[in-house]
Amino acid sequence: MFERHAGSERVVLASLDFGEPDYADSVEELQRLAESAQLDVAGLIEGRRARPDAALFAGSGKVDEIATMVRATDAGVVIFNHALSPAQERNLEKLLECRVVDRTSLILDIFARRAQSAEAQLQIELAQLGHISTRLVRGWTHLERQKGGVGLRGPGETQLETDRRLIGKRVKLLKDRLAKQHRQRTIQRRARSRGRVMSVSLVGYTNTGKSTLFNTLTHAGSYAADQLFATLDTTTRQLYLPNAGEIVLSDTVGFITRLPHTLVESFRATLEETIQADLLLHVVDAGSPNRDKQIAEVNKVLAEIGALHVPQILVMNKIDLGTIEPGVEQDEYGNITRIRVSAKTGAGITALRDVLTQMSQRHREPAAPQLSTAIINNEYHPELD
């Protein structure tokens, strides 16, 4: 049932159903996340509850069931398909006698493994520090058992304060470095804007084929794989269109259900390429039964980062896996809404290039002079003359 990775960490997955409509999808994603982290998954424990337990998240009976599997499989980590509080993690670790991490920690770990550029590494470290700062007490839980022994309680508290101060300094340093890179990107965007070069960003759910489409259009050779979060670094290339000149195309990190807020905040600098784009190509897995939910989840994150106002076209990718034909769909006003393509086989790519050419030609047209509100409303005000 689970893919084994020789020499990797053995883990038990735990997931509770609280009645959410997307529960089954989230469990499948948890398993894929574990595969992406190359973990040796020993098993999956599931259960149903009306609400999380304040102390253990799961009920005591379910925790006993997890403990039994941990001992039987000699697993060293239990991964919950949920966000756990620091207190819940500590309580579970005491009962299960192994490390306990939540979905957020797993995603952060995958991001840390995949980050290649210096900027992505800075952003991941910033997100990890934000997550770790609430869990500093974990490393000093042995002091709680000492009942205030001589020479123990004071140093423990001092160490925690020191850790927090060091983390605070490191966070400030990371934010300063990211701000510097943000200023550099702003200068580059202004230069493109002066030349009226259209900026296009690929966005979408993770593993929908954004990087494959990016490579097909630009021949960039960016890393693409059938795994979650194959791309973390925003890659930008110039794409030449014969009848419209050059445009700038950017490939961005994929989104996922319950994407940790700390990651969204840390990657805000990178995602500004999306916010400042002239057009978003929202890449969708056309054959996924969950595509509508995934589209909604991507739009939710776009709204969170302030990019929902940017015009977008849905690119229905992977049509080669089904019976969908390539083509372009328009609304009743003649606006292009969807393009059906296969980045893998190239079907529909010519139509996509034609659409980008039309959009770029419009973008390069001289801007119409802006009329004052008074003139638009047919009002005359002498003081405006």
320 is in an annotated binding site: yes
Confidence of residue 261 (pLDDT cuts 50, 70, 90): low
Confidence of residue 157 (pLDDT cuts 50, 70, 90): very low
209 is in an annotated binding site: yes
306 is in an annotated binding site: no
121-127 long-range contacts, CB within 8 A, separation 24+? 122/174, 122/177, 122/178, 123/178, 123/266, 123/267, 123/269, 123/270, 124/232, 124/266, 125/170, 125/174, 126/171, 126/174, 126/175, 126/178, 126/266, 127/260, 127/262, 127/263, 127/265, 127/266, 127/267
206 is in an annotated binding site: yes
318 is in an annotated binding site: yes
208 is in an annotated binding site: yes
360 is in an annotated binding site: no
Taking the C-alpha atoms of residue 295 and residue 236, their distance in angstroms, rounded to an integer, is 23
Inform me whether the pLDDT recorded for 68 exceeds 90.
yes
| Percent of the residues in the chain that have a pLDDT greater than 90, as a whole number | 37
287 is in an annotated binding site: no
Confidence of residue 311 (pLDDT cuts 50, 70, 90): very high
210 is in an annotated binding site: yes
Give the CATH number of domain 196-364.
3.40.50.300
Looking at per-residue confidence, does 195 or 252 come out higher? Answer: 252
218 is in an annotated binding site: no
94 is in an annotated binding site: no
Domain residue ranges of the chain, discontinuous segments joined by +: 10-101, 196-364
Taking the C-alpha atoms of residue 286 and residue 217, their distance in angstroms, rounded to an integer, is 19
Inform me whether the pLDDT recorded for 80 exceeds 90.
yes
180 is in an annotated binding site: no
Confidence of residue 379 (pLDDT cuts 50, 70, 90): very low
17 is in an annotated binding site: no
CB burial string 291-316: b at 16+ within 10 A, e below: beebbebbbebbebeebeebebbbbb
Q: Which amino acid is at 329?
A: E
Going 89 to 95 to 97 to 98, the CA torsion angle's sign is: negative
pTM value?
A: 0.70
253 is in an annotated binding site: yes
**Average pLDDT of the chain to the nearest whole number:** 79
Taking the C-alpha atoms of residue 178 and residue 37, their distance in angstroms, rounded to an integer, is 26
Same fold, 10-101 and 196-364: yes
Return all residues near 127 (Cβ < 8 A) that are at least 6 apart.
108, 111, 260, 262, 263, 265, 266, 267
Q: What are 15-44's pLDDT values in tens digits? A: 999 998 888 888 988 998 898 888 999 999
Tokens of 225: 């794989």
290 is in an annotated binding site: no
300 is in an annotated binding site: no
Quote the pLDDT of residue 24.
Answer: 87
Give the CATH number of domain 10-101.
3.40.50.11060
| Percent of the residues in the chain that have a pLDDT greater than 70, as a whole number | 74
378 is in an annotated binding site: no
169 is in an annotated binding site: no
